[in-house]
């Protein structure tokens, strides 16, 4: 497998990717990091970008709003942890739920790689993930009186990003939901 930059140069950018990068550019302008001419130039480049690699190079010198959220590990002990909105999903993330639950919405997550591994360990707990359509999901691991389920698993394109979920479940569960399709005229994300 190539480097992350090489992978991003092969992955086509979507409208949601462009929206997130445009927001980074607008925030940089609002905080005085960019002048008016530079923000116009960067926003034009955002609209013209075809790959995630092109988008990431536009904001490489700017702080990203998602970068302030810790990337992990995530632990819920007799509690619930819920993460949604823009945040950075590392190449590998460990989640532990003991008598608690972890709910992650990956719809707006900034993905670091085309292949991501989540190690989900649950002891009498649950891990619930919301994954956007177009992401291939692989499940592996050991279950002792536990359950793993991927709801609505449509076929992914051969070059789709891959989310591999592995780990150990003891009286616990891992459930993967797909993001709902956007309503007519509206985009999810």
* Higher pLDDT, residue 106 or 111: 106
CA–CA separation, 89 vs 73, rounded Å? Answer: 11
Neighbours of 36 (CB within 10 A): 8
- 125-149 residue pLDDT tens: 999 999 988 888 999 999 999 999 9
| Mean pLDDT computed over every residue of the chain | 82
Angle at 163 between CA 93 and CA 167, to 5 degrees: 55
- 3-39 residue pLDDT tens: 444 456 778 888 878 888 888 888 788 878 888 899 9
Coil/strand/helix, residue 65: helix
């Amino acid at each position: 497998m190539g480097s992350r930059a090489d992978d991003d140069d092969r992955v086509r950018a979507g409208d949601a990717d462009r929206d997130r990068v445009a927001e980074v550019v607008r925030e940089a302008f609002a905080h005085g990091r960019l002048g008016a001419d530079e923000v116009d130039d960067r926003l034009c480049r955002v609209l013209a970008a075809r790959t995630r690699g092109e988008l990431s190079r536009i904001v490489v010198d700017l702080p990203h709003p998602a970068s302030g959220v810790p990337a992990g590990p995530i632990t819920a002990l007799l509690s619930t942890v819920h993460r949604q909105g823009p945040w950075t999903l590392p190449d590998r993330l460990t989640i532990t739920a003991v008598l608690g639950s972890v709910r992650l919405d990956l719809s707006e997550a900034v993905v670091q790689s085309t292949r991501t591994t989540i190690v989900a360990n649950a002891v009498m707990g649950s891990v619930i993930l919301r994954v956007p359509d177009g992401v291939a999901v692989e499940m592996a691991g050991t279950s002792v009186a536990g359950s793993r389920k991927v709801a609505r698993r449509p076929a992914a394109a051969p070059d789709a990003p891959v989310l591999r979920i592995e780990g150990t479940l003891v009286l616990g569960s891992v459930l993967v939901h797909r993001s709902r399709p956007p309503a007519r005229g509206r985009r999810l994300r």
